[in-house]
Structure 1
Amino acid sequence: MREHETGLHSRRVACHTVVLAKHIFPNDEQRLAQIYWGALLHDLGKIGVPDGVLLKVGPLTENEWTIMRRHPDDGHRLVGRLAGMEEAADIVRSHEERFDGGGYPRGLRGEDIPFGARLFAVIDTLDAMTSDRPYRQGLTFDAAKAEILHMSGSQFDPVAVNALLAEEAVLRQMVDMKCVSEPTKST
């Protein structure tokens, strides 16, 4: 409601993360739904971030970053209140973690990060890199893929990166279309 691009981004990454999740969990509809909802709601905690920080055009100050870094925990508290959304809530809380432990809010590393959040991290970066921003044009799919491959094992789980490679044709098409559809029963 406060920033249109965030909503479109959330819908795209939910669609795209499910593509990777289906590669790993092809017949687990409940798990796929949890991963979809976790990806869709990943930035819900930003509703608690003041507009002056959330919509700021320039770089954030250290104090503003402290406020921004609270959004995964705030989102986890909100989604965690919903019955049956435990895995989705864990994805929301862990979506800013890095495979090498350099993320936030808890500095989780490797397999301590929920698997859905590790899949999401690859897709979130793919979407961010291939989307136009006011200050730069989006990269090509190939350029974004090359950067993700370069960060495999540090920022990203190699298993998630391999799923990206396995589903490259579908994801390339979705990125080109900027998919924003709602999940279907087969999602």
Structure 2
Amino acid sequence: MAMKPRPETAPPRCVRCGAALHGSAGAEAVPTGECERCYLDQHPARPSLPWPIEAAFAEALVEALDLREHDTGLHSRRVACHTRVLAQRISTDPEFLHQIYWGALLHDLGKIGVPDDVLLKAGALDPQEWALMRQHPETGSRIVRRLPGMDIAADIVLCHEERFDGTGYPRGLKGDAIPIGARLFAIIDTLDAITSDRPYRSGQSFEHATAEIIRGAGTQFDPLAVDTMLAEEATLRRMVATKCIQGLPEDAPPVRP
């Protein structure tokens, strides 16, 4: 007897924008039922600003830059929201938290000056290419520092590739010489990298990522920042789950089970 084809199942939809959802996590992984874009738009860590048009333009610019390297353009908004989540554990100063968000959001702004053949190269960079790539924190920091009152944010951009043991770049800063915002950002950026799909591998689990970060405490990461991450485990789990839910256009075809 011929097997009947299994019925197609309509994908679940975002409760806010109505976009069809798909992804490795499944809609049930996100209790809010939102796509990632709506989740980030409503995230409590996203600051309310007196200049919403300018802020929206900055986020759109960063999204366009993210699209050069990432499958979605939401990497920078994601790490900005969740770096601020960690920062709220150590400060309640609104201005400090405001700059944490913008420093994390703009962390890779300097890559605007890195050519595609270097930034998107599939293989290892040669010494000349690597020297060019290592300039991006200083390039981005110079741009952000031109904005009035953004020195803390500019320091995050400058120091986001530093390591706690002093082996990072561009200045080889060590320990507390690295601004706390950059130390918190390093945790979130690594968590996002490990749990994201790459052309050469699938994203790893939240548990795998946190174990890797814990192993890096004292070398790559500030142990205090690692403890802060563990204290916000529930929020960060939601971050990982939500990014696995991608919004599809309204006319997306049904998903085959």
Range into which the TM-score falls when normalised by the shorter chain:
over 0.9
- Larger Rg over CA atoms: 2
Distance, in Å, in 1 between the alignment partners of 2:66 and 2:138 is 20
Whether the 8 Å CA contact 2:162–2:173 is kept in 1: the answer is yes
The answer on 1:161 being equivalent to 2:226 is yes
Which one-letter code corresponds to 1:19 in the other structure?
V
**Correspondence for 2:152:** 87
Give aligned pairs, total: 179
**Structure 1 residue ranges (4+ consecutive) displaced by more than 3 angstroms after TM superposition:** none
Whether the 8 Å CA contact 2:66–2:75 is kept in 1: the answer is no
| TM-score, length-scaled by structure 1 | 0.92
2:136 pairs with 49, 71, 91, which one?
Answer: 71
RMSD, aligned CA = 1.5
The answer on 1:57 being equivalent to 2:122 is yes
Distance, in Å, in 1 between the alignment partners of 2:66 and 2:80 is 18
**Correspondence for 1:8:** 74
Whether the 8 Å CA contact 2:108–2:140 is kept in 1: the answer is yes
**Correspondence for 1:184:** none
**Correspondence for 1:182:** none
Please list every run of 5 or more consecutive structure 1 residues that lacks an aligned counterpart in the other structure.
Answer: 180-187
SS of 1:100's partner is coil
Which one-letter code corresponds to 2:187 in the other structure?
V
Distance, in Å, in 2 between the alignment partners of 1:33 and 1:7 is 21
Q: CA deviation at 1:3?
A: 5.0
The answer on 1:118 being equivalent to 2:183 is yes
How many percent of aligned residue pairs carry the same amino acid?
67
Distance, in Å, in 2 between the alignment partners of 1:119 and 1:178 is 20
Structural mapping, 1:129-144, within 5 Å: 129-144=194-209
Distance, in Å, in 2 between the alignment partners of 1:32 and 1:86 is 13
Q: CA deviation at 1:57?
A: 1.5
Please list every run of 5 or more consecutive structure 2 residues that lacks an aligned counterpart in the other structure.
Answer: 1-63, 245-257
